[in-house]
């Protein structure tokens, strides 16, 4: 575990011990102040710069020790934890001294340290140096960080906010707020360098700082509250008194209210250099040419003249003695009445002093301009207190706290040094390996008498923590237990949560070696490691179900959130004819149910009371021998019951019972003939229905009307009758013949009016002779005649139909309607009368249709109405309906793909009442086909289509780029073949015109050679640097050869349509294209040429020499 973390754990454990009452608060009444806090942390003791300490200062001028530095000491000492003294030197060192005067450490900063250091609550030491930096040291002298404060030199001493942030002034005219990690929080410009003023912090957190002629009051966030301007530069202060008064000096000494207004002033007459001190009674001490003591209201208490100016700020001890240095090399102790108690003169003359400080043991520390640090008074005996630990794993960090000061280490011994004689309260916190494992010390706290007892042995035992978490109840067994121990733990099985609410234990959920998981509410665990036991609970609520009648169910405890079903048995029967019926529930409770449901459901989110509501009902009994009586049943008191029977009641064919009377009993019952009555029910009631028997006389007839049918009481005499002739369905009638009766007492005979005695069901059927009306007409009537005539005919009669047309007209068909009718195209036919009939004879007009213009044998047709007539001759006779009719003739008759015949008029109207003939004319047309070969060679072309003889067609074509128009090739009478791109045709028959185009191949020869070409019998040449376009039929293959114009050139490649070196190159011309032969200078040919020339010259040379040699005479030497 890291030391810092261990400190936190130890302090936390001590705090918990105090809160729990494990350590008695009275045991901490130490002989000396809390060792954990700095003893004189900042210049003038505290953040308000009062210069007051409750400690008693030295009673005489005897020095305890002196330490000589290599330079003057302007810095006021600060006293940290354990009495460590920190002071800066003009020799460039920053010093730390033990209380006995030995150097604890010193750090070379390389620049003078004029400002007074400050010790933070955590022991961190801060000091401003002349290099413009604020240094942060650990208590052991290790630099934690530095912060550059603007300006070179500043005497400003740091102060602290309640949160531990650092405030310090800079020579650059700014006040800085710095975090404990050395990062800037904010800075505020004060418009003047801060050289000698140190910030003071009021008890409310307000920051006071003097710069130039102004005093500033700032919030902890750096915002300006107010500023005060003095008569001259402020060099002394500020100091904040306990009552909030701010003291600050320039040539005038000011006392300001907390809002920045002047409370009182004192005219010093010369510059005030040193901050004042404030005693516990409010007395203000000011060091100028004299030492002045003021009451809080500004009146002078006393003054002590001095022959030399005082050189330090005064400080005040717990007895009211004032300590101050002067420029005459004396340091003074002034008694509360203003007289000199003692003085100390430095060995060197003209020595001045720094502002003093007091340690907790009464030692007074002061720096001298003679380069020495002086210690006056206080104790001269110091002791070491050792704590020895055993049974801790090697290297484990642990700690001891003595009078609030905690020291941690990872060895077996922790030592507290520089202790004064007296009683010391101590405590040792357990050593936590993790959250669930620790080593517990024994003993863990106590009081030691120094120097009679200077060592203590501690034994640590390994322990594990049993954590018991339970939302309810009072669990037992939680806490630290020795490793391996068997520990009993548990909790109540159920806990009351108030009226109607409880919590029921469900199970333990354990984790850790030796833990328990199960449903027992108490059990044992083995502490093999940290263990966590979590109790699982469920809430339950009580459902209280009450009812005046019946048996209730569902009452009891139910789990929270569950759906509880409850109800009551209903109805509940009381005396005969009386019962009680459940009506509704009235619920009480936030989540209760109110309503008529039975059973009902309620979600148990709280205690619930459900009360059943009832109503009384009375039985009304309705009885009947026949039918289905209604109205019987249970009724609420005072309610209306509609009682009745359905009458008559049919029991079989022709037999029924008819209600006669009600027989009633009970108060409010009914007796009478009404089948349906309304009764008001106030008590049980009874009603009995009385009936009469009836039979049915069924008088039926195909035709009507007939009379006498209906229901008759048993034994009654019934009369019935029928008319002589009766209409049936439209156009059908009957003539009465007789009655045909069946059943006891029935009648059979010819009397239209007869009687029968009804002793059972009777049926009387009227027998008739049936006739139907037949309608026979001609349509239209003026075109022909029909027979027989319309009239009534006996059913089954056969009718002989005959239709005769007038001259110029023709019979078309009979159209019949009705059972037995005839429909067909026979003019003479038979129809049978089985129902009313309608027979219509249709006649039409004969019309002659003539066509002209069609060659013999061509089929043509005419449609009139819905009927189509066809012919292959020049004319035909058709029949059409009388009147105006639309007609349509065949409009186009196709001979073949090149020739067709078109009707000049192919439709119209014909009025057959006046028009007996129709003419249709046809005219021949020929197809003119215009096309391109190939298609891609032409952009636009004259359209193809049907043309009439004599029409003029203009041929024209737009040739695509890269193509050449070759000519027209025509077929047919009047066609054109030739090279003209535009031509005119007169249509005399089918025409087929083809526009022929050739694609072009552009052949180019670059400089240095020429190209020969050949296709079919055609060949030619493209000269050097020339270009030619060859238009040839599509698909023509052209062969090309490339030749250099001189020997020094060579053919390199073809480019364009293809790129290769082939000789010859062959190309099929399917579309416009381009090809170029490329030549270049040939170094190979050059070398070959030069080589050949060289060889030729060499041969000539050798040949010449040989020839000359043969011609010269032999050489003779005498």
d(CA 891, CA 903): 5
Neighbour count for residue 503 (Cβ, 10 Å): 21
List of residues 6+ apart from 1099 with CB closer than 8 A: none
d(CA 890, CA 654): 73
Neighbour count for residue 4 (Cβ, 10 Å): 10
Residue pair 163/180 in contact (Cβ under 8 Å)? The answer is no
Q: Which two tokens stand for residue 256?
A: 């300001």
Residue pair 72/390 in contact (Cβ under 8 Å)? The answer is no
Q: Which residues pair with 613 in a beta bridge?
A: 584
> DSSP states of 927-940 as a string?
EEEEEEESGGGEEE
d(CA 885, CA 865): 7
H or E stretch at 19: helix 3-20
**Exposure on the CB side of residue 221, measured as CA atoms within 13 A:** 2
Pairing of strands 1027-1031, 952-955: unpaired
CA-based nearest residue to 147, from 132, 125, 163: 132
Query: Could you give the residue ranges of the DSSP H alpha helices within 116-268?
Result: none
CA-based nearest residue to 770, from 711, 838, 819: 819
Q: Which two tokens stand for residue 115?
A: 């400002």
Token pair 């006739």 in the structure block, residue? 771
Mean model confidence pLDDT for the chain: 89
Strand, helix or coil at 71?
A: coil
CB crowding 1089-1098: b at 16 or more within 10 Å, else e = eeeeeeeeee
Q: Which two tokens stand for residue 1062?
A: 């082939």
d(CA 678, CA 683): 15
d(CA 373, CA 1082): 105
Residue 1107 vs residues 628, 1111, 1113, 1115: alpha-carbon distances, Å: 166, 7, 12, 17
The verdict on whether omega for the bond into residue 193 sits within 30 degrees of 0, i.e. cis, is no
d(CA 290, CA 332): 12
d(CA 327, CA 37): 33
d(CA 928, CA 968): 14
d(CA 217, CA 233): 17
d(CA 126, CA 145): 10
| Nearest 10 degrees: Cα torsion 964, 967, 969, 975 | 140
| Nearest 10 degrees: Cα torsion 180, 184, 186, 192 | 100
Neighbour count for residue 574 (Cβ, 10 Å): 12
Strand, helix or coil at 59?
A: coil
Q: Which two tokens stand for residue 288?
A: 């100028």
Q: Which CATH class is domain 31-376?
A: mainly beta
d(CA 814, CA 827): 7
pLDDT digits (tens, 9 = 90+) for 509-564: 999 999 999 999 999 999 999 999 999 999 999 999 999 999 999 999 999 999 99
d(CA 129, CA 134): 7
What pLDDT shows up at residue 24?
A: 32
Q: Is the dihedral of CA 614, 620, 625, 630 positive or negative?
A: negative
Give the residue extent of every domain in the chain. Answer: 3-27+390-463, 31-376, 474-540, 621-693, 695-770, 771-801+812-839, 853-961+969-990, 1006-1084
pLDDT digits (tens, 9 = 90+) for 250-283: 999 999 999 999 999 999 878 898 999 999 999 9
CA-based nearest residue to 409, from 422, 394, 425: 394
d(CA 826, CA 816): 12
Kindly state the DSSP code that residue 989 receives in the 8-state scheme.
S
End-to-end CA distance of the chain: 128
Pairing of strands 184-189, 174-178: antiparallel
H or E stretch at 1036: strand 1036-1044
CA-based nearest residue to 1037, from 1079, 1066, 1007: 1066
| Nearest 10 degrees: Cα torsion 1019, 1022, 1023, 1025 | -170
Q: Give the residue ranges of the chain where pLDDT is below 70.
A: 1-34, 151-154, 306-308, 347-350, 379-380, 1082-1083, 1085-1086, 1110-1118
Q: Which two tokens stand for residue 897?
A: 């793909």
Residue pair 79/87 in contact (Cβ under 8 Å)? The answer is no
Write down the pTM of the prediction.
Answer: 0.47
**Residue positions counted in the chain:** 1118
Neighbour count for residue 1015 (Cβ, 10 Å): 19
- Backbone φ and ψ for 112, nearest 5 degrees, come out as -60, 145
d(CA 264, CA 273): 19
Q: Which residues pair with 1076 in a beta bridge?
A: 1004, 1055
Pairing of strands 159-160, 556-559: unpaired
CB crowding 1059-1074: b at 16 or more within 10 Å, else e = eeeeeebebebebbbe
């Amino acid at each position: 575990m890291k030391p810092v973390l261990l400190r936190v754990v130890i302090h936390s454990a001590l705090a918990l011990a105090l809160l729990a009452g494990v350590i008695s608060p009275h045991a901490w009444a130490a002989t000396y102040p809390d060792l954990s806090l700095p003893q004189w942390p900042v210049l003038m003791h505290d953040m308000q710069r009062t210069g007051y300490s409750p400690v008693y200062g030295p009673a005489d001028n005897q020095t305890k020790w002196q330490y000589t530095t290599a330079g003057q000491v302007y810095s006021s000492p600060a006293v940290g934890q354990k009495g460590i003294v920190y002071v800066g030197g003009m020799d460039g060192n920053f010093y730390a001294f033990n209380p006995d005067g030995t150097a604890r450490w010193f750090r070379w900063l390389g620049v003078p340290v004029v400002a007074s250091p400050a010790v933070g609550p955590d022991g961190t030491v801060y000091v401003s140096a002349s290099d413009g930096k604020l240094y942060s040291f650990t208590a052991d002298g290790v630099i934690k960080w530095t912060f550059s404060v603007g300006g070179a030199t500043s005497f400003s001493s740091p102060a602290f906010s309640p949160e531990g942030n650092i405030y310090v002034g800079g020579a650059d005219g700014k006040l800085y707020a710095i975090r404990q990690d050395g990062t800037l929080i904010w800075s505020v410009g004060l418009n003047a360098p801060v050289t000698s003023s140190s910030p003071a912090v009021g008890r409310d957190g307000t920051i006071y700082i003097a710069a130039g002629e102004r005093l500033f009051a700032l919030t902890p966030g750096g915002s300006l509250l107010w500023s005060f301007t003095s008569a001259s530069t402020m060099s002394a202060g500020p100091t904040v008194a306990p009552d909030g008064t701010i003291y600050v000096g320039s040539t005038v000494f000011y006392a300001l209210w907390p809002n920045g207004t002047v409370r009182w002033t004192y005219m010093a007459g010369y510059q005030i250099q040193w901050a004042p001190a404030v005693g516990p009674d409010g007395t203000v001490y000011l060091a100028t040419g004299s030492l002045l003591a003021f009451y809080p209201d500004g009146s002078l208490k006393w003054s002590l003249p001095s022959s030399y100016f005082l050189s330090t700020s005064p400080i005040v001890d717990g007895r009211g003695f004032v300590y101050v240095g002067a420029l005459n090399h004396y340091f003074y102790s002034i008694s509360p009445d203003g007289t000199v108690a003692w003085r100390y003169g430095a060995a060197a003359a003209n020595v001045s002093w720094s502002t003093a400080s007091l340690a907790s043991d009464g030692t007074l520390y002061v720096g001298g301009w003679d380069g020495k640090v002086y210690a006056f008074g206080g104790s001269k005996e110091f002791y070491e207190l050792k704590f020895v630990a055993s049974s801790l794993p090697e290297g484990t960090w642990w700690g001891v706290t003595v009078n609030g000061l905690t020291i941690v280490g990872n060895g077996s011994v922790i030592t507290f040094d520089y202790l004064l004689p007296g009683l010391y309260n101590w405590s040792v916190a357990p050593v936590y390996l993790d959250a669930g494992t620790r080593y517990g010390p024994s003993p863990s706290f106590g009081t030691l008498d120094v120097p009679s007892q200077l060592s203590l042995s501690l034994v640590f035992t390994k322990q594990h923590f049993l954590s018991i978490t339970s939302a309810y109840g009072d669990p037992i067994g939680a806490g630290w237990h020795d490793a391996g121990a068997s520990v009993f733990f548990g909790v109540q099985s159920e806990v009351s949560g108030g009226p109607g609410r409880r919590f029921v234990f469900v199970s333990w959920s354990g984790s850790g070696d030796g833990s328990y998981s199960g449903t027992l509410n108490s059990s044992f665990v083995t502490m093999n490691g940290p263990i966590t036991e979590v109790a699982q609970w469920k809430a339950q609520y009580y459902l209280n179900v009450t009812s005046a009648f019946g048996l209730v169910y569902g009452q009891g405890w139910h789990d929270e959130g569950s759906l509880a079903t409850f109800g009551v048995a209903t109805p509940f029967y009381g005396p005969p004819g009386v019962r009680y019926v459940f009506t509704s529930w009235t619920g009480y409770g936030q989540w209760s149910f109110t309503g008529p449901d039975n059973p009902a459901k309620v979600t148990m989110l709280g205690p619930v009371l459900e009360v059943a509501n009832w109503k009384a009902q009375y039985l009304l009994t309705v009885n009947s021998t026949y039918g289905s009586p209604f109205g019987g049943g249970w009724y609420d008191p005072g309610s209306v019951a509609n009682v009745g029977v359905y009458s008559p009641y049919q029991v079989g064919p022709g037999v029924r019972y008819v209600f006669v009377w009600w027989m009633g009993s009970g108060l409010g019952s009914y007796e009478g003939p009404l089948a349906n009555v309304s009764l008001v029910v106030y008590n049980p009631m009874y009603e009995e229905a009385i009936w009469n028997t009836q039979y049915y006389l069924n008088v039926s007839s195909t035709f009507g009307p007939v009379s006498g049918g209906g229901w008759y009481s048993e034994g009654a005499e019934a009369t019935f009758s029928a008319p002589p002739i009766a209409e049936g369905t439209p156009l059908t009638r009957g003539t009465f013949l007789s009655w045909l009766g069946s059943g006891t007492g029935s009648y059979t005979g010819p009397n239209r009016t007869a009687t029968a005695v009804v002793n059972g069901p009777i049926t009387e059927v009227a027998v008739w002779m049936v006739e139907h009306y037949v309608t026979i007409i001609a349509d239209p009537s003026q075109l022909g005649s029909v027979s027989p005539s319309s009239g009534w005919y006996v059913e089954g009669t056969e009718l002989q139909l005959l239709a005769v047309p007038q001259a110029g007209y023709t019979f078309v068909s009979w159209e019949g309607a009705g059972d037995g009718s005839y429909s067909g195209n026979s003019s003479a036919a038979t129809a049978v009368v089985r129902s009313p009939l309608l027979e219509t004879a249709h006649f039409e007009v004969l019309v002659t249709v003539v066509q002209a213009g069609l060659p013999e044998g061509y089929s043509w047709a005419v449609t009139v109405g819905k009927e189509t007539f066809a012919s292959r001759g020049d004319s035909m006779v058709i029949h059409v309906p009388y009147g105006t009719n639309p007609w349509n003739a065949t409009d186009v008759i196709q001979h073949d793909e090149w020739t067709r015949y078109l009707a000049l008029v192919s439709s119209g109207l014909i009025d057959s009442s006046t028009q007996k003939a129709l003419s249709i004319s046809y005219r021949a047309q020929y197809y003119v086909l215009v096309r391109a070969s190939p298609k891609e060679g032409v952009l636009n072309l004259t359209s193809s289509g049907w043309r009439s003889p004599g029409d003029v067609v203009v041929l024209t074509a737009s040739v695509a780029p890269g193509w050449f128009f070759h000519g027209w090739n025509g077929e047919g009478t009047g066609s054109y073949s030739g090279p003209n791109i535009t031509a005119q045709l007169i249509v005399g028959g089918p025409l087929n015109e083809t526009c022929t185009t050739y694609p072009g191949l552009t052949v180019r020869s670059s400089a240095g050679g020429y190209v020969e070409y050949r296709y079919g019998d055609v060949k030619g040449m493209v000269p050097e640097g020339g270009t030619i376009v060859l238009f040839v039929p599509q698909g023509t293959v052209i062969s090309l050869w490339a030749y250099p114009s001189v020997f020094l050139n060579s053919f390199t490649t073809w480019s364009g349509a293809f790129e290769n070196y082939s000789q010859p190159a062959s190309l099929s011309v399917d579309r416009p294209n381009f090809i170029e032969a490329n030549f270049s200078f040939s170094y190979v040919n050059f070398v070959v040429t030069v080589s050949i020339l060289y060889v030729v010259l060499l041969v000539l040379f050798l040949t010449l020499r040989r020839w000359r040699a043969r011609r010269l005479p032999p050489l003779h030497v005498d």
